[in-house]
Amino acid sequence: MAELVINDLHVDVETESGPKPILHGVNLTINSGEIHAIMGPNGSGKSTLAYALAGHPKYTITSGSAQLDGVELTGLSVDDRAKAGLFMAMQYPVEVPGVSTSNFLRTAKTALDGQAPKVRTWPKIVTGALQRLEMDPSFAARSINEGFSGGEKKRGEIVQLDVLNPKFAILDEIDSGLDIDAVRIVAGGINRYADQGDRSVLLITHYTRILQYIKPSHVHVFVNGRIVESGGKELADELEVSGYDKYAKAVRV
């Protein structure tokens, strides 16, 4: 099971001039096995939703709740949210010099499972995931994201998704900055994950391009810190033609 229920979520971001409200009451239920796409213009607060759910210290949930399979996430530490089953692929994956991808994932897997993965099979697991994302096996020994191209970083996030296989994946603009081949490879990885059936995906994106490869069960339009419209795949098709102007204007009025 992987059911995320977000109820009237309000979030502040920490700025130099003090906390600034970004999310103004987000309501969203994602049932097990569903893929929800959240689309919206730049600055609408889409990424804030992702960071707030994952627990980044710059974002404060001021009211509302978010429950994953009945577990309230808002009071949990970042790593406890991951242990509850949450995974977030970042728009700008972070470099950690001197820590190999293989070691990093083994440490994570050990923490998540409560026991270390078998030494004998572990390299094969990482190599297999790299190969599915069409990355050279040598990436396993390289420092996390260091010296990776933009596209390699994004594919690396999906490698991590593949290896850790969480219950629920938030993918924050996983498609931005990718060429068309990389979009296809990344989408393939997301589909393999979702096709397990009991996993759920919250796909945050600015563009409709990746939706040629991933079929969302639900599409939401996100403007000014809340969801202003929800529908099926046809809503994405409409956005492809008419853009976000209509929704942005409606909010201003």
- Region from 76-84, 126-134, 177-185, 197-205 binding another protein, contact rule CB under 8 A: 76-84
Round to whole Å and give the CA distance between 225 and 25: 7
Torsion angle, alpha carbons of 169, 173, 175, 176, to 10: -160
Round to whole Å and give the CA distance between 253 and 251: 5
Number of residues that bind another protein (CB under 8 A): 32
- Region from 50-58, 64-72, 120-128, 194-202 binding another protein, contact rule CB under 8 A: 50-58
Q: Report the alpha-carbon angle 9-11-17, nearest 5.
A: 165
Which of residues 17 and 77 has its CB atom nearest to another protein in the complex?
Answer: 77
Token pair listed for 11: 């979030």
Which of residues 97 and 253 has its CB atom nearest to another protein in the complex?
Answer: 97
- Which helix (H) or strand (E) element contains residue 182? helix 180-194
Is 143 an interacting residue with respect to another protein (CB under 8 A)? yes
Is 251 an interacting residue with respect to another protein (CB under 8 A)? no
Let me know if 5 is exposed, middle or buried by CB neighbors in 10 A (0-12, 13-18, 19+): middle
CB of 247 to another protein, least distance (A): 30
Is 39 an interacting residue with respect to another protein (CB under 8 A)? no
Contact positions with another protein (CB under 8 A) in 80-119: 81-83, 87-88, 90, 93-94, 96-100, 103-105, 107-108, 111-112
Is 44 an interacting residue with respect to another protein (CB under 8 A)? no
Is 236 an interacting residue with respect to another protein (CB under 8 A)? no
DSSP-derived secondary structure for 101-159: HHHHHHHHHHHHHSSPPPTTTHHHHHHHHHHHTT--GGGGGSEETTT--HHHHHHHHHH
Which of residues 29 and 110 has its CB atom nearest to another protein in the complex?
Answer: 110
Query: Are 232 and 65 in contact, with CB atoms under 8 Å apart?
Result: no
Is 184 an interacting residue with respect to another protein (CB under 8 A)? no
CB of 132 to another protein, least distance (A): 19
Give contact residues for another protein (rule: CB under 8 A): 54-58, 77-79, 81-83, 87-88, 90, 93-94, 96-100, 103-105, 107-108, 111-112, 143-144, 160, 164
